[in-house]
Amino acid sequence: MTRTSAAIAITFALATIPASAQDGAEDASLAQQLANPVASLISVPFQFNYDGNIGPGDDGNRVYMNLQPVVPIGIGDNWNVISRTILPITWQDDIFPGAGDQFGLGDTTQSLFLSPVRPAFGRVIWGVGPALLLPTATDDLLGSGKWGVGPTGVVLTQLGPWTVGMLSNHIWSYAGDSDRAKVSSTFIQPFMSYTTPSAWTFTLNSESTYNWKTESWAVPVNGIVAKLVQVDEQRIQFGADARYWLNSAPGGRRVSEQDSS
């Protein structure tokens, strides 16, 4: 089953460079840093999304906002720990017959990447660490009811205006509501972006999840356009994307990093 969806992403990039010191070239450099999941840069993305045609009868809808703060923590002169949090706030209705509607928090995915300050071989940027699933959902239909843990990693390179790489994790549940299904799922996000001299960024990615319990894939493809702008003395990146589902989970339920990895 394939479904249609759209997303509007608003990313607030909290840069430490004062606006008076920046020019167009530095804006483009900052925009490209935002394309790097383990950049040494504080950012606080708010990503608004809509998914339609959910459920066996294609009658369901979901609107959700992902709060995704990224915070680097310096460890000596050579290493950073990058904290990356994803907390969804969701409204949904009719995701299966008789489900009604729900509104509230979903499960939180917390990742920590240990990453070197300087790229390996001058070009390869990487990070590894743990990923945690936290059962913060306020409704059973918004989360898994499970605590989970597993490895996560990212590798990428930035060549001129291009950023190309992949982020992945796998999470197993180890505790939580015994009446809920166990979690064992792999998240894979290949990504490619191009940043222009005027700080526009064009990105193509997939946020695919394989559920090892149901042996099913959820494979969305996202096309994203974003622009870094100045508001007062702060740099803010605004973006919008469209998403097409090549394959979705059984029953049409969305599966992605923030709610089941």
pLDDT band at 255 (very low <50, low <70, confident <90, very high): very low
pLDDT tens for each residue of 29-60: 889 999 999 988 888 888 888 888 777 777 88
Place of tokens 């240990």: 114
Other residues' Cβ atoms within 10 Å of the Cβ of residue 24: 10
Q: What is the pLDDT of residue 259?
A: 40
Section 215-231 average pLDDT? 89
What's the whole-number mean pLDDT along residues 169-196? Answer: 96
Task: State the Cα–Cα distance between residues 108 and 259, nearest whole angstrom.
Answer: 7
pLDDT of the residue at 95:
85
Rounded to 10 degrees, what is the CA torsion of 240, 3, 50, 36? -40
Whether the pLDDT of residue 104 is over 70: the answer is yes
**DSSP structure class, residue 237:** E
pTM (predicted TM-score): 0.86
Q: Which uninterrupted H or E stretch holds 229?
A: strand 216-231
Distance in angstroms (rounded) separating the CA atoms of residues 160 and 136: 40
DSSP state of 199: S
Q: What is the rounded CA–CA span in Å between residue 125 and residue 115?
A: 8
What pLDDT, on the 0 to 100 scale, is given for residue 19?
46
Decide: helix, strand or coil at residue 118: coil
- Quote the pLDDT of residue 199: 92
Q: Where are the beta strands (DSSP E) in 68-215?
A: 70-75, 79-93, 101-105, 108-116, 124-134, 146-159, 162-176, 184-195, 200-206, 208-211
pLDDT of 50 reads 85
pLDDT in tens, 142-152: 999 999 999 99
Supply the pLDDT for residue 249: 65
Q: What is the mean pLDDT of residues 7-23?
A: 45
Q: How many residues does the chain have?
A: 261
Model confidence pLDDT, tens digit, residues 227-250: 998 887 778 888 888 888 888 765
Q: Amino acid identity, residue 250?
A: P
The residues near 29 (Cβ < 8 Å, ≥ 6 apart) are none
Among 49-58, 90-99, 103-112, 153-162, the range scoring the smallest mean pLDDT is 49-58
pLDDT for res 208: 94
Query: Is 49 within 8 Å of 67 (Cβ atoms)?
Result: no
Rg, Å, the chain Cα set: 18
| Cα separation, 256 vs 187, whole angstroms | 7
Please check whether residue 208 is in contact with residue 245, taking contact to mean a CB–CB distance below 8 angstroms.
no
pLDDT at 252 > cutoff 50: no
Give CATH for domain 4-260. Answer: 2.40.160
